[in-house]
């Protein structure tokens, strides 16, 4: 048995080594465009499974003209080579250690010179990260993972260390950010201000407050402090995540299919068609009988940031620190 196990381990090591050689030892990468689409198979016609933002560190798992990658929330998918810039472990570590500029506005442009009359290098969106190279006038000089240079206005970005020291992780701040995206469109698998699905909305809002949580509603529902909701909703707190779907029956398991952020006064904000308010109160103008009838429970989590493996930050998540 020991001989057999040893052979299995050797085979696995050989397979990993062969994969590393095939990838030219560049088994790491960083997202190189403002919003990168991950698909279930390596094809533009394939279903989109999630997205990742510029500057996100990823692991490269496989090659097939496209790259199969894994993101910091452990989601996997295939991306077009334009989407990420592959790196060696040393290059990846250097990127992670370098000071960054975080885009704090919902949308913006990186220019080829420190002027808003410059040529566009690319667009950027809230949560994107670029390497900080210095300041010129009222612009940050920045570098992309692939080495391109550009300039982004100070008014739409912050130095990451300063941003981390100032970003708030309380319910009212998170809800304010969520409400700033009212009317933004629903996009299946979307996870940026360009468009969200329900869990992508929650995941993005929290990421803008430097909170990394699991990607899908069904995964989020299995974390944090479970809250069985009182009939009058009095035990809900602002910032709780509220989950919807189908309750378990004798022959079927529970199915979580939707998530939103509880605000107060029986209201919650979520992405369904677009980002909007809904209410559990029949007398409220935002009354949502459909979701009330499929309400399951809530999860409380803000007190668990960096205390529970499901709730990390860019300072503690392993992908950002390798």
The answer on pLDDT for 11 being more than 90 is no
Mean predicted confidence (pLDDT) in 4-12: 56
| Token output for 198 | 């329900």
Q: Which residues of 288-298 are buried (b: 16+ CB within 10 A; e: fewer)?
A: beebeeebbbb
Higher pLDDT, 15 or 320: 320
pLDDT at residue number 9: 58
pLDDT digits (tens, 9 = 90+) for 99-124: 999 999 999 999 999 999 999 999 99
Higher pLDDT, 9 or 78: 78
Nearest Cα residue to 67 out of 93, 29, 18: 29
pLDDT at residue number 64: 87
Higher pLDDT, 138 or 64: 138
C-alpha span between 221 and 138 (Å, rounded): 43
| Token output for 313 | 């930050």
Mean predicted confidence (pLDDT) in 236-264: 96
Domains of the chain plus CATH, in order, are 10-96 (2.30.30.40), 98-166 (2.30.30.40), 171-319 (3.90.1720.10)
pLDDT at residue number 45: 96
The answer on pLDDT for 15 being more than 70 is no
| Predicted TM-score (pTM) above 0.85 | yes
Catalytic residue IDs: 198, 258, 270
pLDDT digits (tens, 9 = 90+) for 297-309: 999 999 999 999 9
pLDDT digits (tens, 9 = 90+) for 150-178: 999 999 999 999 999 999 999 999 999 99
pLDDT at residue number 24: 75
CB 35 within 8 A of CB 97: no
């Amino acid at each position: 048995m020991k001989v057999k196990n040893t052979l299995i381990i050797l085979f696995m090591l050989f397979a990993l080594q062969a994969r590393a050689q095939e990838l030219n030892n560049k088994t790491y990468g960083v997202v190189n465009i403002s919003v990168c689409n991950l698909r279930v198979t390596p094809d533009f016609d394939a279903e989109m499974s999630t997205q990742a933002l510029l500057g996100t560190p990823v692991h490269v798992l496989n090659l097939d003209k496209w790259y199969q990658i894994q993101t910091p929330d452990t989601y996997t998918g295939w991306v077009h080579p334009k989407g990420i810039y592959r790196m060696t472990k040393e290059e990846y570590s250097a990127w992670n250690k370098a000071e960054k500029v975080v885009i704090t506005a919902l949308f913006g442009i990186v220019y080829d010179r420190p002027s808003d009359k410059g040529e566009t290098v690319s667009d950027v969106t809230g949560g994107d990260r670029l390497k900080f190279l210095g300041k010129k006038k009222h612009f940050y000089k920045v570098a992309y993972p692939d080495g391109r240079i550009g300039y982004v206005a100070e008014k739409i970005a912050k130095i990451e260390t300063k941003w981390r020291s100032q970003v708030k992780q309380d319910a009212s701040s998170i809800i304010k950010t969520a409400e700033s995206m009212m009317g933004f469109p629903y996009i299946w698998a979307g996870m940026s201000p360009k468009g969200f699905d329900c869990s992508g909305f929650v995941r993005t809002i929290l990421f803008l407050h430097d909170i990394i949580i699991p990607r899908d509603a069904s995964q989020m529902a299995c974390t944090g402090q479970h809250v069985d909701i009182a009939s009058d909703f009095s035990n809900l707190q602002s910032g709780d995540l509220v989950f919807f779907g189908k309750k378990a029956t004798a022959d079927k398991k529970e199915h979580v299919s939707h998530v939103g952020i509880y605000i107060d006064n029986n209201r919650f904000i979520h992405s369904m068609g677009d980002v909007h308010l809904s209410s559990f109160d029949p007398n409220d103008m935002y009354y949502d009988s459909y979701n009330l009838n499929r309400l399951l429970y809530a999860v409380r989590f803000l007190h668990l940031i960096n205390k529970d493996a499901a709730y990390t930050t860019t300072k503690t998540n392993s992908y950002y620190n390798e």
